[in-house]
Amino acid sequence: MLSRMRISPNRCFFKSAVNASFVFTAILAFTATEQLVTGQEADPSNRPRTQELLPETTVAFIQIDDFRDMVGKLQETSFGQMTQDESISPLIDGLWDEARLAYGEVEDEVGVTLDDIRELPSGEMTFAIIAPRRQNPEYMLIIELDTESGAGERILERGREVIAAETGEPITTEESEDGIDYETFNAAGKNFKFFEKDGLMVGCSSEEELDAFVDRWMEREVEKVRPLTSNRKFVTIMNRCLGNNEIEPEARFFIDPIGLARSATRGNFAAQAAINFLPIIGLDGFLGVGGSMLLSEDDFESVVHGHILLSNPRKGVLEMLALKPTDYQPEPWLPADTATYMTTSWDVDQLLAELSKMVDLYQNGEGLVDEWIDGNINERIQMDLKEDVLAHLTGRVTYAEWIAPPMALNSQVQLFAMELSDPEAFEESFESIIQTVTGGNNNDEDNGNDQDRESWMAKSEYKGFKTWTVSQASIDRRQASRNARRNARRQAQNPDGENFIEDLDDEDPAVVEMRAEMRPRPAMALVGNYLLMSFSSRSMDFIEHAIDTAEGEEMPMIDDENFMEVQRKMTRLLRSDMPCAMTYQNPEHAFRMLFELAGSEQTQSFLSSQIDDNPVLSGVQSRFAENPLPDFDDMKGYFRPTGGFVVSDDTGYHFLAFSMKSEDDE
């Protein structure tokens, strides 16, 4: 049954967003493995939406629309289903029991049970930062409470006790004309107020903003300040982040970065001066950023939207880093078992031209960038950087991650690639640069470093493709130099101590081996019309794997069924638009490594060496011993590929990432 299941985790974002979304999903899904208390919840239909109650001066906003509903949907996702699988649920339950035991040791001090904490949010959770005009920022927290279980009131009561103990002053209560009990306490020289109404707890660092919030709730007009739903930046971003059916997202966020910075740095002359510098480099056109997450939309398990709102026309940095729309296809050397793939492209000429404009404007000069390149780069490499190197770049850049077998701590290998318009001309320039930098064209008198420089790079071939790697001699010299510096520091700190060994790593052979394995070994290769570069400890493993793929000995990603399925979904979502960037992930490869490493002797040995003084690790190890992880091949059906893309329009850049439902759920 498991082998036929094909369900993906919520890992979405262009690189950081993908991972952030998945981690967020994983945490909530893990929490959801325990049965939630289904107490009475406040009816949100009895009040306006929070966006209509907050002011238009809100500069940061993050909201979960309904926490329990989200958790319920997360239980239906791949990760939620995996935690309930009979082959792994005993381990999850055991780890949760360990968390209970660990929390039990501090429960009396905290004064709140773990179950109370888990039951606290029953509906909406919102945090907002408000920037009143010509004032410092204010903060507001909104939580919908479970009114039946009493968990919210118990936590609030404990909070009152802690605040009174910390401030030395009791919390005061005052009833408003609307019959709402305002509770006030002083902290850090400010009065904080909060109230509870219809199961909603609202707290704010500003009495004025809290009163305005209530006025809008009571449908009274607030003078001079409109609601957040009248903020054009917020509305534009949120409208771009709706689902296909314009359903409300499970979670959303919005940030006005410049408005937030101006408010947060009031009174700081240096910071305000830096903000006033933004128009010179064009960053004043960075108007806002926001996004949303939707679960179980159409045939997608999750959809994550992100939008960067930019002014139009763009200038400076925003114009310099403009992404180019095109029909992106995986490179022929990209292997099918790539774990992460991202690609985009820039206009190199435009990038340099805008950079020159900004520098000339700031320095009140002309041709300053070209002058700097001539004096600091061209003279050293003995050629023209623009004409002999940059002119051969198309602007397309690619990032890929691969899990190199056999599984080890250094199995994750990263690779960067740049597309070339004239590979032969670039190769000639590239080899000339290496020869110059390593001393091959150095006609100066011997300064004692020529031998080191000449042995810095090692050139070789793999199946007819030229490769360059940092030589072992260079790595050994660098390590010896590092050891000498360590030795000197320790000797300076303890001049009367015993003699130190020459190589400190010899103190522990296991540490020596581990450090040697993890040490970066940069490598480069020219494959077709691409320059491949890797800076990992197993760089050549990935480069050779890519060459094997280019030679037809390994399946390329473009022919992989998983990628083709994601590409079909992406084409449907894009309609007639052309992406200016795209991403693809197959989490099966990364999680296979995690599963194997978690059960490896090396990991168990590490845990054993740490448990003497750490009861938490001791408990974790015992749970893994009682319920070892299942074979990954029995679980891999829960990990399906995900995809994403970026498109550009008049309002800025829009990102969409998705994971698909299992075939059984579609």
Mean pLDDT of 91-100: 85
Task: Give a yes or no: residue 452 inside a domain.
Answer: no
DSSP one-letter code for 346? B
Report the pLDDT value the prediction gives residue 506, as an integer from 0 to 100: 46
Task: Give a yes or no: residue 492 inside a domain.
Answer: no
Lowest mean pLDDT among 314-323, 603-612, 631-640: 603-612
Residue that terminates a domain, selected from 209, 243, 267: 267
For residue 146, pLDDT beyond 80 = no
DSSP one-letter code for 267? T
Q: Which residues contact 653 (CB under 8 A, 6 or more apart)?
A: 307, 308, 310, 323, 580, 646, 647
Task: Give a yes or no: residue 235 inside a domain.
Answer: yes
For residue 445, pLDDT beyond 60 = no
Using pLDDT thresholds of 50, 70 and 90, give the confidence band for residue 612.
low
Q: Name the more confident of 440 and 433.
A: 433
Task: Give a yes or no: residue 189 inside a domain.
Answer: yes
Report the pLDDT value the prediction gives residue 392, as an integer from 0 to 100: 94
Number of domains in the chain: 2
Interatomic CA distance for residues 601 and 607, integer angstroms = 10
Task: Give a yes or no: residue 251 inside a domain.
Answer: yes
Using pLDDT thresholds of 50, 70 and 90, give the confidence band for residue 455.
low
For residue 54, pLDDT beyond 80 = yes
164-207 confidence digits (pLDDT tens): 887 778 888 999 888 999 999 887 677 889 998 888 899 999 99
354-384 confidence digits (pLDDT tens): 889 888 888 888 999 999 999 989 988 889 9
Interatomic CA distance for residues 62 and 624, integer angstroms = 36
Interatomic CA distance for residues 196 and 180, integer angstroms = 8
Mean pLDDT of 9-29: 36
- CA nearest neighbour of 647 among 240, 236, 231: 240
Residue spans of alpha helices (H) in 438-499: 450-454, 472-493
Q: Chain-wide mean pLDDT for the chain?
A: 82
Report the pLDDT value the prediction gives residue 397, as an integer from 0 to 100: 96
Task: Give a yes or no: residue 634 inside a domain.
Answer: yes
DSSP one-letter code for 322? P
Interatomic CA distance for residues 49 and 359, integer angstroms = 46
Residue that terminates a domain, selected from 227, 251, 267: 267
For residue 338, pLDDT beyond 70 = yes
Residue that terminates a domain, selected from 267, 301, 334: 267
Lowest mean pLDDT among 13-22, 556-565, 651-660: 13-22
Report the pLDDT value the prediction gives residue 536, as an integer from 0 to 100: 92
Joined together, the tokens standing for residue 450 give 């020529």
Task: Give a yes or no: residue 441 inside a domain.
Answer: no
Using pLDDT thresholds of 50, 70 and 90, give the confidence band for residue 247.
confident
Mean pLDDT of 244-270: 89
Report the pLDDT value the prediction gives residue 158, as an integer from 0 to 100: 81
Q: What is the DSSP string of 201-260?
A: EEEES-HHHHHHHHHHHTT---SS--BGGG-HHHHHHHHHT--TT-PPPSEEEEE-HHHH
Interatomic CA distance for residues 665 and 235, integer angstroms = 33
Task: Give a yes or no: residue 602 inside a domain.
Answer: yes
Q: Name the more confident of 577 and 611.
A: 577
Note down the domain range covering 612: 587-638
* Winning range, highest mean pLDDT, from 429-443, 486-500, 618-632: 618-632
